[in-house]
Each structure stands twice: as C-alpha cells, then as structure tokens.
Amino acid sequence: MRVITGSARGRKLEQLVGDDVRPTTDRVKEAVFSIIQFSVEGRRFLDLFAGSGQMGIEALSRGAKEAVFVDNRNESVNIVKRNLLSTKLEQNAKVIRADSISYLGMCREKFDFVFLDPPYSTGLLQQALAKSERVMNKGGMIICESPVDEVLADKLDEFVKYRQYRYGKIQITTYCHTDFAQENA
C-alpha cells in the first residue's frame, strides 16, 4: 500500500494485519480521489474508522489543509501516527483514539470530506452516516465504502445520496448537501 500522488507520492504505508482487516484497495482509493480530486486542496478531511490512515494521508499528500483520523484500536492509532511520520505529513494531522460513533456525537469541528469505511455488515455504516451530517460543512461530501449489497439511505436530513460507483464487490456512495445536488443534477 502506497501513497498514490502528491507530496508523499510513492511512500509505502504500514498496514494492519489480521483476518478482521480489510484495507481500501488502491483501485478504490484512486477512484475516490478521482471523484474529489479538484476539491481536496485546502479542505478538511475526516478519516473515520481510520485503520492505517491511508485515505486521510492521501488527502494530506494532495494538499488537504488538515486531516483528522479516528479509530478505537490502539494498534490502528499507532500505525496512523507512524505512517504520518514516515510521510512527513504529521503537522496537519490529528489522530484520535475514540469510538467513531461517539466521536461524531461529541465533535464540534466541521469537515469538507468525511470518509466512512467501517467493518462491513455491522450496522456501523448506517449509524455513522446518520451522525456524519452534523460535522459537515454545507459544501462538503460524505463518502462511504461498502459492499454492493448494503442498502444505504437515499436522504439524510439536509444531505442526499448524490452518486454511486461500483468496483467489483465494493461500492462508493457519495452524499452532498441538497442544494449542491439540485444545482448539479
């Protein structure tokens, strides 16, 4: 697993190991950043269920103003910190050890992008999606990675399902503010 492009291009990232680990594939990561490529620079990125932190690190490498990494596992938090040091991107990053759903409930910050990739088929994606809207800037985007058979809401409160993309057995679903979706329909 490597950083695809930007200031840390080509840097190898540590990853978690084990049967319960499912890192985002390079193909899917590249697809996500193709979707948001012209919007990342100078923006704030939340990597929820961060794992190794590869999505937030990719955002920082591409010029994001700040990335916040949240995971409830010590091992994940330590790997994210090491990956940030090895890519020299730690200055614009915050790493938080917390339950992702609880974090969304107590967070007072606002983000331009939230990336949600919890363990599949646990109900965590639906819980996180329902709470993510409260930490979003109006012009932001919520990005979800899930199996293609997982059903996601069409509408939150002020955010609506904007687009879905399929990559084999994985789907990427984006949510945007209702105003943005109507203007860009």
Residue 21 lies in a domain: no
E runs forming strands in 15-121: 44-48, 66-71, 93-97, 111-116
* pTM, 2 dp: 0.92
Please report the pLDDT score of residue 18 as a whole number: 63
> Cα-flanking dihedrals φ and ψ of residue 105, to 5°?
-70, -30
Please report, for the domain that includes residue 54, its CATH number: 3.40.50.150
Task: Using 70 as the pLDDT threshold, list the residues of the chain that sit under it.
Answer: 18-23, 179-185
Q: Does any domain span residue 58?
A: yes
Number of structural domains found in the chain: 1
What is the tens place of the pLDDT at every residue in 94-146? 999 999 999 999 999 999 999 999 988 889 999 999 999 999 998 899 999 99
Residue 85 lies in a domain: yes
Sequential DSSP letters for 92-144 = GEEEEES-HHHHHHH----EEEEEE-PSTTSSHHHHHHHHHGGGEEEEEEEEE
Structural domain containing residue 67: 26-183
